[in-house]
């Protein structure tokens, strides 16, 4: 099997159709497992009592918000460099879910900040850069929606994505570079995690579930975009007639 086969929208459309149920179901099962760990296995935190349980959605959502942006920028860069059609479609398909996770990270952060810091919102570097990420997502989606010419829209949106990518390391390192109210990371690549193993496990299970969910909805969305753009081809016509 040649991997490049799936760079063709027609083949990818069918492959994605087969993969979606697998990703969706495993996302659902892992969410159930993750929630069970979050609420029934993870113990009460000695400092934050039960309020810390927000971590099981807050941290995975914040990771996804940054990671989806990087993947979007990757596809945008590939599209700009090699003019591959499917890459731009992938970038477009990822953006709404990225915006969704950014919103969830901000929302759960506010609900966590209020009982712990006494404020729903503060203009510290971590929170502000994450808010800018939400504006970037919304701006990119709006730019794509505003340009009728598909090819020009693809390029403009991907260019904006690439410019905005500078914000991702700013978010990630903000807690190190500046004195933020937001706490530093409990997990990083060089040190052992500074949290109980079962809490870490719950967080990771939820993060993997968020990942699988993202893949499932992105594939659904990219199939719609493929069908729309390929409607003049014989294979797309055949699909539309069959339905």
Applying CB under 8 A, the residues found at the interface with another protein are 39-40, 43-44, 49-51, 53-54, 57-58, 61, 96-97, 100, 103-104, 107-108, 111-112, 114-115, 213, 217, 220-221, 224, 227-228, 231, 237, 240-241, 243
- Closer CB to another protein, 136 or 226, in the complex: 226
Minimum distance, C-beta of residue 184 to another protein, in the bound complex (Å) = 21
- Closer CB to another protein, 192 or 238, in the complex: 238
Give the sign of the dihedral formed by CA 103, CA 158, CA 231, CA 217. negative
Minimum distance, C-beta of residue 104 to another protein, in the bound complex (Å) = 5
Tokens found for residue 82: 């090699």
- Closer CB to another protein, 14 or 176, in the complex: 14
Do 17 and 223 touch, CB atoms closer than 8 A?
yes
- Helices within the chain (DSSP H only): 9-36, 55-82, 85-117, 125-146, 150-164, 167-177, 197-229, 234-242
- Closer CB to another protein, 80 or 202, in the complex: 202
Looking from the CA of 188 toward its CB, the CA atoms found within 13 Å total 9
Q: Which residues of 8-18 are buried (b: 16+ CB within 10 A; e: fewer)?
A: ebbebbeebee
- Closer CB to another protein, 91 or 105, in the complex: 105
Minimum distance, C-beta of residue 217 to another protein, in the bound complex (Å) = 6
Minimum distance, C-beta of residue 102 to another protein, in the bound complex (Å) = 11
User: Collapsing DSSP states into helix, strand and coil, what is residue 80?
Assistant: helix
Minimum distance, C-beta of residue 81 to another protein, in the bound complex (Å) = 29
């Amino acid at each position: 099997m040649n991997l490049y086969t799936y760079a063709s929208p027609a083949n990818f459309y069918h492959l994605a159709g087969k993969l979606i149920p697998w990703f969706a179901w495993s996302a659902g099962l892992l969410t159930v497992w993750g929630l069970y760990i979050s609420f029934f296995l993870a113990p009460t935190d000695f400092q934050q009592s039960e309020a810390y349980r927000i971590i099981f959605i807050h941290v995975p959502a914040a990771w996804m918000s940054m990671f989806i942006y990087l993947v979007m920028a990757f596809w945008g860069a590939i599209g700009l460099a090699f003019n591959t059609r499917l890459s731009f479609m992938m970038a477009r398909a990822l953006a709404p879910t990225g915006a969704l996770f950014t919103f969830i990270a901000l929302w759960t952060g506010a609900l966590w900040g209020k009982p712990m810091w006494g404020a729903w919102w503060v203009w510290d570097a971590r929170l502000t850069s994450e808010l800018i990420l939400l504006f970037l997502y919304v701006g990119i989606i709006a730019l794509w929606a505003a340009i009728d010419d598909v090819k020009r829209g693809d390029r403009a949106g991907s260019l904006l994505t690439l410019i905005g990518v500078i914000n991702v390391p700013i978010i990630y390192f903000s807690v190190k570079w500046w004195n933020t109210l937001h706490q530093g990371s409990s997990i990083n690549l060089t040190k052992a995690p500074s949290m109980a193993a079962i809490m870490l496990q719950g967080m990771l299970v939820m993060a993997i579930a968020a990942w699988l969910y993202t893949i499932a909805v992105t594939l659904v969305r990219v199939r719609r975009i493929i069908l729309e753009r390929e409607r003049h081809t014989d294979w797309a016509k055949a699909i539309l007639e069959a339905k």
